[in-house]
Chain A
């Protein structure tokens, strides 16, 4: 697994959306139909939160989003990849249907890696055309080339997810 190669293509990319402060980037692979989310953090929980933010960052410009509401979300999986998949799928659903929430901040309050369960507080506001710039539509989350890198010894965690757009 060579993680640096995957994102290495894009280092010269001025349009690449990197948020160093928040800890995520959205990098397109040199493939023709997909976008890869890459997020990191000092804990796996944080990397998951950032991955969710990366997805929202692809749908609009987060600078235009303010925190008006908070929604609680639950996700379950059969394994850690499944958990990440369903967590993102729940977030996508939160955006795609009532309450049409675009998130500015995610806070995972329960991160259970034994039963693979997540509870998360999602802060943001309903998406509104005119107020929020329209980015790309995410069709689906995929398991394709999903990578979850855990290096507890140096408190470094990374996740890579390909979304279908």
Chain B
């Protein structure tokens, strides 16, 4: 790694618009394309501070600063366009979280990298709407939160309650939400409102280790821990009335449920297994990277193909997982209001994947190309009229669900043509951590955090209360800054703001 004083480093960065910076090719060795990142003034400070800290002599630690990581990704074989950092970017394993990069499928040297997807494959967000309003839910908020907490298994060591055996799992891995539909856990129209219709067709469970399946089986239908949550949210603001109405959101005060979860231990193990395999493939194919954590394999190699098929199985697992929790959520609401989920109009507005690699067609330098698009902590945001978005959203653009953190707002955005051109149809995914877990724990007390949430009128049910400091709003970037940056940059458009009134987490 090139180590220079901070002032020197800054020479390789250039602000090209109000909220976009360019990373020049000489910033890191072997950069094949430039990098860029989107930030407003507040996020810019965080970004540059991180770089500055890493330039201090004697700095040691696990991960490089986000901007270095963007640049190292720009040095991977086969990358096209730019390596792009979204406003919620923060450093992660190999790729920064909030980094997207696209690789040319027709270039035989192009790579696929599990670090560009993340350990939690197809981690994503699903939003359900209801026809309830805040006044209906406020009086029973605590009971409803408790009921959701009782219905959805959360936290470390929790086990799923959806009956599953090894044979069912094989089918679920292959079929994704088609399995959930066949088993009666979801509605047919739910599938319409998912990326890939809730099923990646190239999934091949035979490419998945027994170990991953054993980790996955007991965890299907569980929320997990860390930053995963289920929230009851209220529509707080509607910026785009017409698009919102296409999503079934008519008025402020309407109640929604957001579920943020992924592929659990199954996906974690698929990623771990692939990283081990790819270390070997890299030596064999002499793939050079700037950072050992950027383990990768050629897309066309055995390891590359195996990973894509196993990753697709993990993606299907995640959809079945979110679908199972959708089922449990509908049950909890139906019981509380002694009616049916149908009568509560509990439709899936949309379901996004923010840790995934997908084959997509994009225009690069005026020509259509087939690309493998890695989005790690980044959400697909396709514009209106794109063939891969459902009929209901053909005129609005794809809904993009941006989850906040415990106690803060969440947003629904829509995809734009500008985003399609500038960022391969990608935008932010959430708040993005600002403080390390260590700092959060040093500076915050869990009782204060819980009290503050209570003051804000938010009911909370959490499996490990002592860890809530790590997920406290203070530990994250301001999600409003993140979303505003995307909106101003034009890579997606604000549609709805949601505020939580109850949080369930691990």
Contacts and interface: CB of A to CB of B under 8 A. Distances in A.
B457 to A, nearest CB: 26
Contact of A164 (B119, B265, B441): B119
A165 B438 contact: no
Nearest to A143: B292
A97 B217 contact: yes
B97 A33 contact: yes
A136 B438 contact: no
Interface string B255-272: 000000000010011011
B438 A30 contact: yes
A27 B442 contact: no
B506 interface: yes
A137 B224 contact: yes
Given A137-B225, A144-B293, A165-B226, A13 B441 contact: yes
A33 B214 CA distance: 26
A87 B467 CA distance: 27
A89 B90 CA distance: 26
Contact of A28 (B215, B271, B438): B438
A145 interface: yes
Interface in B447-488: 463-464, 467
Contacts of A136: 156, 225-226, 464, 467
Nearest to B211: A93
B279 to A, nearest CB: 8
Nearest to B442: A13
Contacts of A60: 156-157
Interface in B209-264: 211, 214-215, 217-219, 224-226
A139 interface: yes
Interface stretch (A43-51, A105-113, A126-134, A148-156): A126-134
Interface of A: prevailing SS: loop
A137 B156 contact: yes
A135 B156 contact: yes
Interface residues of B, number: 45
A114 interface: no
A29 B506 contact: no
A141 B265 CA distance: 12
B137 interface: no
A33 B156 contact: no
Contacts of A32: 63, 90-92, 97, 433-437
A42 interface: no
A79 to B, nearest CB: 11
A28 B93 contact: no
A36 B61 CA distance: 9
Contacts of A144: 62-63, 93, 293
B265 A33 contact: no
A3 to B, nearest CB: 9
Interface in B35-70: 58, 60-63
Nearest to A89: B272
Contacts of A1: 60
Given A2-B60, A14-B442, A96-B265, 15 more contacts: A1-B60, A2-B58, A10-B438, A13-B442, A27-B438, A29-B62, A29-B438, A32-B436, A33-B92, A93-B215, A129-B157, A137-B226, A144-B63, A164-B93, A164-B119
What 4 pairs between A and B have smallest CB-CB spacing?
A: A28-B438, A97-B214, A137-B225, A32-B433
